[in-house]
Amino acid sequence: MRILLLVPVLILFLFTQPLFAQLSLTIESGLAFNGSNDVRYFNEEGNKGDLFSLTDDFTPQQPQVYTRIEAQFRFLDKNIIELTAAPLAFDYEKNSGSSIQFGENEYGLSGNTVTGRYEFNTYRASYRYQFIDREKWSLSAGATVLVRDARIALSENGLEDETTDLGVVPLLSFDGRYKYSENLEFLLKADALVGPQGRAEDVLLGFQYKFKDNGLSARAGYRIIDGGANVTQVYNFSLIHFASVGLQYSFMR
């Protein structure tokens, strides 16, 4: 909690330093759609729960409105630091079908409604260096440190089991743009990495339109989050689609 309170103080400190030439704030929102979400808890040999799908075995709620916030600092011309907060949650219901062994309990035996909850909140700090800065093309690449705060829970008639995960994941970071005109550019932006126990991918493909010279721009596009892990505690891989829109304001110095 103390670390979170220090974040705005750090932002203010960095922005007041002469090395920092520009601060940009972006608010993105839109609709999040379930693609797939496969879960097994527990996942250790000799004590495995049932593998089930929150999207196929349950009825997911309607597309979820989401919000994410980004703060980007550009300094020494080609260096970029970006901070991102991206909370996300879905609720599910299961009224019939086979039972599910999840954690310490078996759900769906009594015929009562089984409710599911999936939370995937991420907080990121990224550094990228702008390798290409031409009239039409720009490219920056670097690394991201992602803090993952995840939770999956099932409940039924007073019973509840949950698995939580608070961890740090290193990712590669990429931001490529093509300037179509003075005010319009197309962008491909990603944080991603594949490892032996899982993968994490967050990719945005879209366009951004700049309104005159007042620092305000709007963007829209398609975002995808895909990934998960196969570890002793839990098996979980999910795919989520996003129809996104956003507003960005750049404070020029």
Residue 253, pLDDT score: 61
DSSP class of residue 197 equals T
Burial class (CB in 10 A: 0-12, 13-18, 19+), 94: buried
**10-residue stretch averages of pLDDT, the chain, 253 residues long:** 46 50 93 96 92 92 93 95 98 89 93 94 98 97 98 95 96 98 97 93 98 91 97 96 98 73
Residue 9, pLDDT score: 47
Residue 6, pLDDT score: 46
CATH T-level topology, domain 26-252: Lipocalin (2.40.128)
Rounded to two decimals, the pTM is 0.89
Residue 107, pLDDT score: 96
Residue 2, pLDDT score: 45
Q: Where are the domains positioned within the chain? A: 26-252
- Spatial CA neighbour of 119 closest among 26, 240, 9, 13: 240
The Cα-based distances of 210 to 115, 127, 186, 253 in angstroms read 44, 24, 12, 18
